[in-house]
Amino acid sequence: MRITQNIVYDTILQDIMFNYRRLSQLQKELATGKKIEYPSDDPVGTVKVGEFNTSIGEIGQYNKNIDSANSWMNYTDNALDEVGKIMQRVREITIYGADGALSTVDRNALADEVDELRKHLLQTANTEYNGHYIFAGRKTTTKPFAFNGADEDVYMGDDGEIEREVQKGEKVVVNITGIQAFMPSKVRYSVESDEFPALTTFGPGTITVKVGQQVALVGVPAAATLEDIANAFNNMAGDLLEAEVVDGSVAGTKKLVITTKSPYKISFSDTVGNVASSTGLTTNTQTKVYKDKLDVFEILKNISDNLRRNEVSSLSGIRLEEIDEYMDNLLEMRAHLGARIKRLNTTKNHAEDKKVNLTDLLSKTEDIDIEDVIMNLNTLQSVYRASLASGARIMQMSLMNYMK
Amino acid sequence: MRSTFFGIEIGARSLYTQRMALETTGHNIANANTPGYSRQRVDMGTTDPFTVPSFERPATPGQIGTGVQVEQIRRLRNFFLDLRYRQESSTLGKWDAISEGLREVELFIGEPSDTGVRSALDKFWASLEELANEPESRAVRESVREKTEVLVSAIKHVANSLQSYRDDINNEVKMRVDEINSLIRQISNLNVEIIKVEGTGDNANDLRDRQNYLVEKLAKLIDIDVKENPGKGIVVSTDGFDLVRGIKHHEFVVHQNPGNDGYYEVRWDIDDFPVSSDVSVVTAVVSPDAAQRFHTVEVFQLANELSHKVGDSTVASIASPNVTLAALGWLGKNEMGVFGIKVGDNPEVEITVTGEDTLQTVANKINAAYNNSNVSSSPDISENWVEAQVEESVTGNYYLTVKSNKPGESHGMTITDHISDIAYRLGLIDATGNTNDIDTPQDAIFRIDGVDYRSAYNRIEKAINQSTGEEETITPGVIYTLTGVGSASVSAKRVVENGKLYGLLKVRDSIIPYYMEQLDDLAYTLINEMNAQHRAGYGLGDTDRDVNGINLFEPLSVNKPYGAAKEISINSQIEEDLNKIAAATGDGYGHSAGDGDNQNALKLTELKHRGIMSGGTTTFSDFFESLLSRLGVDSEEAKKNNENQETMVKQIDHKRQETSGVSLDEEMANIVKFQRVYEASARFITVQDSIINRIINGMGLVGR
């Protein structure tokens, strides 16, 4: 093979340039700390970097959403806590006001306090968070509770739910509407008997009914139709429950529906005879039903009225029951809210873990391994130096050096 | 009998020959760095010996040598390697242009980075999530507007950069064609001189080297065949067409192609066929990859590229969009009216109105039917739905218009009254049930190579085959633009198949358009899907919570993907009034569900995860990622090919240099070799001289 000087020069130059290019590539990696500058440097890596970045950004945004949801819900919880304290005080006043020994002046003073508490409650119901009314449903820019002329509080909001996206495709309701918080439905339990042809008769017998802690005995006459049984329930346990006869699902059949008047479960047993078991009341499942509204503002207004009118029995009876029922409702609501907050925190913790993992993966894909690059840089430097040195030496050699 | 001066003549011949060899050595050294130069060698041979056979030949023993002579001056070259060098450098030129082009595309797309389209998309979605968190906040709305603008400008920036890069490439095409023509002229001129020189029997070594060098420069630009035509110089041809033959030559010409943004098409000067035989019927972009053939095009009807729009400004004198239908006497206060809107073959969507509705709430109800789980057969692809607006006529009347989202007859609307004649009253249909059209879509109907097609647009790559009813690519690599009724032919023919010029054409007409098309698709889908969902929602505050139908992005002048990335912009109404950003959904009665409602904002963010690109399979981000990954793979491949090709060309060149290159050591040795012979020859003449001197001055003087 014939080699000319130009081939040698060319080859040397090419090798030096190649080494220098690799050196400058490593230098760039060191300076930026990144492996990928253009998609062609690592097409798969580029896509991964994009996906990781998007996922990390998403998790950051979901965490922001969770924080926003959490602070909204904590704010709601604080407001409900305040409501609880108010109602606790109202309960004390109601029990105290029901004491027959109190004078009219004392009761009026108590009524004034209840009125003040009611105003305070109204303020709480109109709580704003970050410029939004939290109990107004979706109408967050409308003051949810307002006095109308007739001394009644009217709800101006709606029953809309406000959701936050806390994970891909998963939404959580963050708000409690004014209706849920201040005008909840009463919870009742209902049991249905089996269905019987209209003229089927039962009895005689006696049924023991228990609603919560209260017990009543219901005597059923001989040859009683479902109507007769309903009447017996209404007559003998009317303050605990309500009974009615409705059409069954099959034409010509009837069934008995018994609904409690307080938010407690109901149970039946046959003391004499077998009316309760033969009608199926003892075995059929009871369902939770919602009836009427428990308007807390109206309760307070009624208490104030009762106090001013010295209606002691109402205070100790129906009002106290209403307060207790409302407070049960409140507690249940707060328990739900607490559970939701806890769940969000768990979600957030998971998300944070995932974010750490993704950030790690991103760094592995995108960032250089400094030790590795510096090692390579050193190796390459030696190679580069060697190519320069050998090149310089070879280029100097020529026949001319030896000819005079 | 030999002459007395015979020896002097031998010496003189030697002196002359050695000097020529020395001079040639000097020429070699002088041109050691001249590109394309091949070293030359003086071929020496003996002169005719004495004596020649004849009757009268002297009776001396023979033959005796008569000295040396120069037979020829030859250049040393491996012609087979020249052939390979030319072929490989054509391919190198191609990959050089392609890898450079892809590199530029990578630069413009600018990923991975925090400022590119991908991260702008991420931030855009995040701002919508924030909107869902706080739909009432002005600051958050401000950020939605800003992030939308950032996204818009990121997409536009890439699209415009790609476009101006295409312009640059186009200018380079012109420059390269000029260069090619100049090379062709020079090669041809050298042919003339070579023919003259070689006609005398000499070797035109340097001229041949120079010509070869020019041919190699030409080979880098286009694919050429080179043949020797004995006595007539060389023949340079491409694809069977002679560029240079003897003293004749043909050049390339360029024409601006109206079908391809006025970019240059490259043709031969005597075979100057146009892309389209009649630009008033059809123009076309022919990609360098298209199969070579003629296509016949018959256009029967052009598309008007309009969406179906119905309404009647004169239907009734309605002074305000807020007059109820009951007040107009069209429905009782509690009476219900139902009409159906059907777009193309999609299921009919029923719109229920009551006497309490106004023109505006009817429009709201139509817009809110999009992607709404409370509406039966609610569409969730924008092109299957419509846009309703309340418009004011020149006479100050308000009327309802309903416009289909996609141009073309296949997306025409059918509107039917079901309960009460409310669509008729609103002026959407006439007494016979036909729509009152403001804009009637018209498809293009045409025949290409004997196959009947129809299309909603005039610029087409794919169209619906009339006989199968399926959409198909008409001619792979050809994009037709129909411009008028008539018939014409389109020639998918190219003049170069390799080399830098081919690479440039490929970058200009195939590579950049691909990425622009992808970007257009992204922008088009983004505009349409976001707009349809945004129109279904309501703004904030007293005026805007009762009005929907606001677009997030400014609608395209013609609703088609081509050019969407360059046109995308935020709706000016939103720019002026942040309250118009529609975070809230409807309450079912044609009003907002409340200022704190974020349901529509949540639905807008859901589009992030919905597969709507590539025929409903890919999310926006995935689509962009796959574009990036394709770009990365293509560019990497082109870069590798380019590097490999460069190495190969270098190797062939080195191989050639082994034969043709000047070795200084060798030349130095030759100098010594020839110098020594020259010296010896001179001494030989001195000896001869002294012999003759002896004869003349020292002979015949015996005893003197």
The domain spanning residue A213 has which CATH number?
A: 2.60.40
- What φ, ψ does residue B68 adopt, rounded to 5°? -115, 155
Q: Are the beta carbons of B375 and B369 closer than 8 angstroms?
A: yes
For residue A398, the chain B residues in CB contact (below 8 A) are 664-665, 668
Interface of B with A in 430-469 (CB under 8 A): none
For residue B118, the chain A residues in CB contact (below 8 A) are 50, 53-54
A316 inside domain:
yes
- Rounded alpha-carbon distances, angstroms, from residue B174 to A205, B92, B102, B180: 110, 20, 20, 10
DSSP assigned state of B209: H
Last residue of a domain, one of A354, A373, A392: A354
Enumerate residues 6+ apart whose C-beta is below 8 A from B391.
B311, B313, B398, B399, B400, B401
Q: CATH no. for residue A127?
A: 1.20.1330.10
Last residue of a domain, one of A291, A308, A342: A291
B171 and chain A: CB distance < 8 Å anywhere? Answer: no
Say whether B62 sits in a helix, a strand or coil.
coil
Residue A39 is nearest to which of B134, B628, B659, comparing CB atoms?
B628
Element (H, E) at B52: none
Do A299 and A284 lie in one domain? The reply is: no
Q: Name the residue with tokens 């970019």.
A: B263
Closest listed residue to residue B325, CA positions, set B298, B304, B352:
B352
A26 inside domain:
no
Torsion of CA A234, A240, A244, A248, to 10 degrees: -140
Neighbours of A334 (CB within 10 A): 17
Q: Are the beta carbons of A100 and A310 closer than 8 angstroms?
A: no
Do A60 and A149 lie in one domain? The reply is: yes
Q: Are the beta carbons of B250 and B243 closer than 8 angstroms?
A: yes
pTM: 0.85
Q: Are the beta carbons of A138 and A128 closer than 8 angstroms?
A: no
Residue A68 is nearest to which of B133, B594, B635, comparing CB atoms?
B133
Say whether A37 sits in a helix, a strand or coil.
coil
- What is the residue type of B515? Y
Both structure tokens of B286 = 């022919």
Classify the C-alpha dihedral A44-A50-A51-A52 as positive or negative: positive
Both structure tokens of B523 = 């922008």
Nearest chain B alpha carbon to A161: B597
Strand partners, B340: B350, B416
Length of chain B: 704
Both structure tokens of B267 = 């043709």
Closest listed residue to residue B674, CA positions, set B3, B6, B2, B27:
B27
Interatomic CA distance for residues B389 and A192, integer angstroms: 54
Do A175 and A299 lie in one domain? The reply is: yes
Contact between chains at A7 and B657 (C-beta distance less than 8 A): yes
Contact between chains at A38 and B594 (C-beta distance less than 8 A): no
Contact between chains at A53 and B625 (C-beta distance less than 8 A): no
A379 inside domain:
no
Contact between chains at A7 and B661 (C-beta distance less than 8 A): yes
Which range has the worst mean pLDDT, A74-88, B13-27, B319-333, B548-562?
B319-333
For residue A400, the chain B residues in CB contact (below 8 A) are 664, 668
Do A168 and A73 lie in one domain? The reply is: yes
Q: Are the beta carbons of B609 and B148 closer than 8 angstroms?
A: no
Element (H, E) at A91: helix A43-97
Neighbours of B294 (CB within 10 A): 12
A197 inside domain:
yes
pLDDT tens per residue across all 404 residues of chain A: 788 888 888 889 988 999 999 999 899 889 988 888 888 888 888 888 888 998 999 999 999 999 989 999 999 999 999 999 999 999 999 998 888 888 888 889 999 999 999 889 988 999 888 888 899 888 888 888 886 655 666 788 888 888 888 888 888 899 998 888 888 887 788 888 888 888 888 878 888 888 877 888 888 888 888 888 888 888 888 888 888 888 888 888 888 888 888 878 888 888 888 888 888 888 888 888 877 778 888 888 889 999 998 888 888 888 888 898 889 889 989 999 999 999 999 999 999 999 999 999 999 988 998 899 999 999 999 999 999 999 999 888 888 888 77
ipTM: 0.76
Q: In the predicted model, what is the mean pLDDT of residues B45-56?
A: 86
Interatomic CA distance for residues B559 and B556, integer angstroms: 5
Total structural domains in chain A? 2
Both structure tokens of A171 = 């939404």
Nearest chain A alpha carbon to B635: A40
Mutant choice from A2, A4, A65 vs B, greatest count of B C-beta within 10 A: A4
Do A322 and A340 lie in one domain? The reply is: yes
Do A61 and A176 lie in one domain? The reply is: yes
B30 and chain A: CB distance < 8 Å anywhere? Answer: no
pLDDT for B704 beyond 70: no
Strand partners, A288: A189
Q: How close A188 gets to chain B, by Cα (Å)?
A: 31
Residue A47 is nearest to which of B629, B659, B669, comparing CB atoms?
B629
- What φ, ψ does residue B386 adopt, rounded to 5°? -130, 170
List the helix and strand counts (H, then E) for chain A: 10, 14
Mutant choice from B540, B598, B666 vs A, greatest count of A C-beta within 10 A: B598
Interatomic CA distance for residues A178 and A156, integer angstroms: 9
Q: In the predicted model, what is the mean pLDDT of residues B629-639?
A: 93
Residue B63 preceded by cis peptide, ω within 30: yes
Neighbours of B475 (CB within 10 A): 20
A131 and chain B: CB distance < 8 Å anywhere? Answer: yes
Contact between chains at A50 and B126 (C-beta distance less than 8 A): no
Interatomic CA distance for residues B672 and B513, integer angstroms: 64
Mutant choice from B25, B111, B117, B603 vs A, greatest count of A C-beta within 10 A: B111
Classify the C-alpha dihedral B114-B116-B121-B123 as positive or negative: positive
B688 and chain A: CB distance < 8 Å anywhere? Answer: no
Closest listed residue to residue A292, CA positions, set A187, A191, A212:
A187
B658 and chain A: CB distance < 8 Å anywhere? Answer: yes
Say whether A330 sits in a helix, a strand or coil.
helix
Do A168 and A198 lie in one domain? The reply is: no
Classify the C-alpha dihedral A57-A59-A62-A63 as positive or negative: negative
Element (H, E) at B266: strand B263-268
Both structure tokens of B422 = 């409310």
Interface of B with A in 570-629 (CB under 8 A): 584, 593-599, 602, 605, 609, 621, 624-626, 628-629
Average pLDDT, chain B: 91
pLDDT for B3 beyond 90: no
- Rounded alpha-carbon distances, angstroms, from residue A80 to A84, A124, A164, A330, B676: 6, 8, 21, 7, 117
A388 inside domain:
no
- Rounded alpha-carbon distances, angstroms, from residue B592 to A140, B35, B588: 12, 79, 9
Interatomic CA distance for residues B457 and B444, integer angstroms: 7
Nearest chain B alpha carbon to A64: B130
Interatomic CA distance for residues B595 and B576, integer angstroms: 19
For residue B111, the chain A residues in CB contact (below 8 A) are 39, 46, 50
For residue A67, the chain B residues in CB contact (below 8 A) are none
Nearest chain B alpha carbon to A44: B629
For residue B106, the chain A residues in CB contact (below 8 A) are 38-40
Do A155 and A63 lie in one domain? The reply is: yes
pLDDT for B234 beyond 70: yes
Q: Are the beta carbons of A53 and A361 closer than 8 angstroms?
A: no
Residue B126 is nearest to which of A61, A130, A403, comparing CB atoms?
A61
Q: Are the beta carbons of B170 and B263 closer than 8 angstroms?
A: yes
Do A81 and A228 lie in one domain? The reply is: no
Domain range for A254 is 188-291
A171 inside domain:
yes
Closest listed residue to residue B152, CA positions, set B129, B132, B124:
B124
Do A298 and A177 lie in one domain? The reply is: yes
Last residue of a domain, one of A354, A379, A395: A354
For residue A131, the chain B residues in CB contact (below 8 A) are 136-137
Interatomic CA distance for residues B219 and B342, integer angstroms: 61
Torsion of CA B64, B66, B72, B76, to 10 degrees: 60
Strand partners, B50: B64
List the helix and strand counts (H, then E) for chain B: 16, 24
User: Which is more confidently placed, B374 or B415?
Assistant: B415
Interatomic CA distance for residues B402 and B429, integer angstroms: 11
Classify the C-alpha dihedral A301-A305-A306-A308 as positive or negative: positive
The per-residue pLDDT for A390 is 92
A105 and chain B: CB distance < 8 Å anywhere? Answer: no
Do A197 and A276 lie in one domain? The reply is: yes
A383 inside domain:
no
Q: Name the residue with tokens 């205070």.
A: A315
Hey, which bits of B68-190 come out as E strands?
68-75
Q: Are the beta carbons of B480 and B460 closer than 8 angstroms?
A: yes
- What is the residue type of A176? I
Please give the interface size between A and B, counted as residue pairs whose CB atoms are below 8 Å apart: 178
Do A253 and A325 lie in one domain? The reply is: no
- What φ, ψ does residue B417 adopt, rounded to 5°? -80, 130
Interatomic CA distance for residues B380 and B403, integer angstroms: 16
Q: In the predicted model, what is the mean pLDDT of residues B27-38?
A: 92
For residue B134, the chain A residues in CB contact (below 8 A) are 68, 130, 132
Contact between chains at A165 and B602 (C-beta distance less than 8 A): yes
Neighbours of A57 (CB within 10 A): 17
For residue A138, the chain B residues in CB contact (below 8 A) are 584, 593-597
Interatomic CA distance for residues B481 and B488, integer angstroms: 12
A45 inside domain:
no
B125 and chain A: CB distance < 8 Å anywhere? Answer: yes
Q: How close A147 gets to chain B, by Cα (Å)?
A: 21
pLDDT tens digits, one per residue of B487-512: 999 988 878 889 999 999 999 999 99
